[in-house]
Amino acid sequence: MSDSELLELQMQGKDWRALDKALVTFFREQQKLPAALALLIGQCSFALAQGHLCLPLKRMPQQSEQEWQALMALYPDLFQLSEDNNQPFVYANNALYMRRYFSYQQQIALYLEQSNERSQKLRQAINPALLNQLLEPLFPATAATSAAPDWQRLSCAIAASSSFSVITGGPGTGKTTTVVKLLLVLQQLQQQQGAAPLTIQLAAPTGKAAVRLRSSIRTTLDKLPASAEIKSQVPTEVSTLHKLLGARAQSRQFKQNALEPLALDLLVVDEASMLDVELMAALLSALPAHARLILLGDKDQLASVEAGALMAELCQWAEQGHYWPVTVDWLNQLSFAAVPELLISQQGKALEQQIGMLRVSHRFDPQSGIAKLATAVNNGQSAEVTAICQADYADLQYLEAAEVRQLKQFVLTGQVKSQIKDAAGFSFYLQTVAQSPALDASEQAIENWAQQVLTDFSAFQLLCAVRQGPFGVEQVNLSVEKMLHQAGLIQQTSQQSSQWYAGRPVMVTQNDYALGLMNGDVGICLLRPYQGKLMLAVAFASEDSSKAVRWVLPSRLQQVETAYAITVHKSQGSEFRHAVLVLPDHFSPVLTRELIYTGITRAAKLFSLVCAKPDLLALAIEQKVQRYGAVRL
Res. 564: pLDDT tops 50: yes
177 marked as part of a ligand binding site: no
Neighbours of 362 (CB within 10 A): 12
Instruction: Tell whether 71 and 201 lie within a shared domain.
Output: no
| CA distances in angstroms from 366 to 157, 538, 599, listed in the order given | 26, 40, 18
Alpha-carbon span 201 to 297, nearest angstrom: 17
Least confident of 21-25, 126-130, 207-211: 207-211
171 marked as part of a ligand binding site: yes
Higher pLDDT, 521 or 164: 164
Asked whether residue 125 is assigned to any structural domain, the reply reads: no
Question: Helices marked H in 142-293 — which ranges?
Answer: 151-160, 175-192, 207-223, 228-232, 241-245, 277-286
Instruction: Tell whether 167 and 244 lie within a shared domain.
Output: yes
Angle at 224 between CA 223 and CA 229, to 5 degrees: 115
pLDDT band for position 197 (cuts 50, 70, 90)? very high
469 marked as part of a ligand binding site: no
51 marked as part of a ligand binding site: no
Among 545, 593, 585, 538, CA closest to 562: 538
Instruction: Tell whether 95 and 239 lie within a shared domain.
Output: no
Q: Which percentage of the chain shows pLDDT scores above 70? A: 95
Q: Over the stretch 19-77, which tens digit does the pLDDT of each residue have?
A: 999 999 999 988 889 999 999 999 999 999 999 999 999 999 888 999 999 999 999 99
- Over range 224-251, report the average pLDDT: 88
How many domains would you assign to the chain?
A: 3
> What pLDDT was estimated at residue 472?
92
170 marked as part of a ligand binding site: yes
Res. 526: pLDDT tops 60: yes
204 residue type, one letter: A
Asked whether residue 474 is assigned to any structural domain, the reply reads: yes
Alpha-carbon span 290 to 118, nearest angstrom: 9
pLDDT band for position 416 (cuts 50, 70, 90)? low
- Over range 525-534, report the average pLDDT: 89
Alpha-carbon span 221 to 470, nearest angstrom: 45
- Over range 347-358, report the average pLDDT: 94
Q: Measure CA of the first residue to CA of the last residue in the chain; give whole Å.
A: 38
> What pLDDT was estimated at residue 282?
95
The CATH number linked to 67 is 1.10.10.1020
Range of the structural domain that residue 182 is part of: 143-357
Instruction: Tell whether 334 and 405 lie within a shared domain.
Output: no
Res. 493: pLDDT tops 70: no
Among 622, 564, 572, CA closest to 600: 572
- Over range 241-269, report the average pLDDT: 90
Contact 230, 197 (CB under 8 A): no
> What pLDDT was estimated at residue 307?
85
> What pLDDT was estimated at residue 406?
66
pLDDT band for position 16 (cuts 50, 70, 90)? very high
Burial class from Cβ neighbours inside 10 Å (0-12, 13-18, 19+) for residue 555 reads: exposed
Instruction: Tell whether 417 and 320 lie within a shared domain.
Output: no
Res. 632: pLDDT tops 70: no
> What pLDDT was estimated at residue 135?
94
pLDDT band for position 145 (cuts 50, 70, 90)? low
pLDDT band for position 494 (cuts 50, 70, 90)? very low
Asked whether residue 129 is assigned to any structural domain, the reply reads: no
Asked whether residue 584 is assigned to any structural domain, the reply reads: yes
Q: How would you list the strands of the sheet with 55-56, edge to edge? A: 55-56, 95-98, 89-92, 79-80
Residue 539 DSSP SS3 = strand
Instruction: Tell whether 413 and 544 lie within a shared domain.
Output: yes
503 marked as part of a ligand binding site: no
Instruction: Tell whether 444 and 570 lie within a shared domain.
Output: yes
Least confident of 4-18, 187-201, 390-404, 555-569: 390-404
Asked whether residue 606 is assigned to any structural domain, the reply reads: yes
The CATH number linked to 485 is 3.40.50.300
Domain boundary among 302, 337, 357: 357
Asked whether residue 628 is assigned to any structural domain, the reply reads: no
Instruction: Tell whether 182 and 321 lie within a shared domain.
Output: yes
pLDDT band for position 89 (cuts 50, 70, 90)? very high
Antiparallel, parallel or unpaired: β 355-358 and 164-169: parallel
pLDDT band for position 495 (cuts 50, 70, 90)? very low
Instruction: Tell whether 237 and 351 lie within a shared domain.
Output: yes
Contact 425, 414 (CB under 8 A): yes
pLDDT band for position 125 (cuts 50, 70, 90)? confident
> What pLDDT was estimated at residue 97?
95
Instruction: Tell whether 557 and 433 lie within a shared domain.
Output: yes
Q: Over the stretch 134-143, which tens digit does the pLDDT of each residue have?
A: 999 999 887 5
pLDDT band for position 293 (cuts 50, 70, 90)? very high
Q: Over the stretch 151-169, which tens digit does the pLDDT of each residue have?
A: 999 999 999 999 999 999 9
- Over range 173-177, report the average pLDDT: 92
Asked whether residue 92 is assigned to any structural domain, the reply reads: yes
Domain boundary among 324, 357, 390: 357
- Over range 477-482, report the average pLDDT: 91
Instruction: Tell whether 349 and 416 lie within a shared domain.
Output: no
CB within 8 A of 58, min separation 6: which ones?
65, 94
Contact 298, 335 (CB under 8 A): no
Res. 369: pLDDT tops 50: yes
Antiparallel, parallel or unpaired: β 565-567 and 460-464: parallel
Alpha-carbon span 113 to 99, nearest angstrom: 21
Contact 358, 168 (CB under 8 A): yes
> What pLDDT was estimated at residue 578?
93
Domain boundary among 357, 381, 406: 357
Burial class from Cβ neighbours inside 10 Å (0-12, 13-18, 19+) for residue 35 reads: middle
Asked whether residue 632 is assigned to any structural domain, the reply reads: no
Instruction: Tell whether 336 and 405 lie within a shared domain.
Output: no
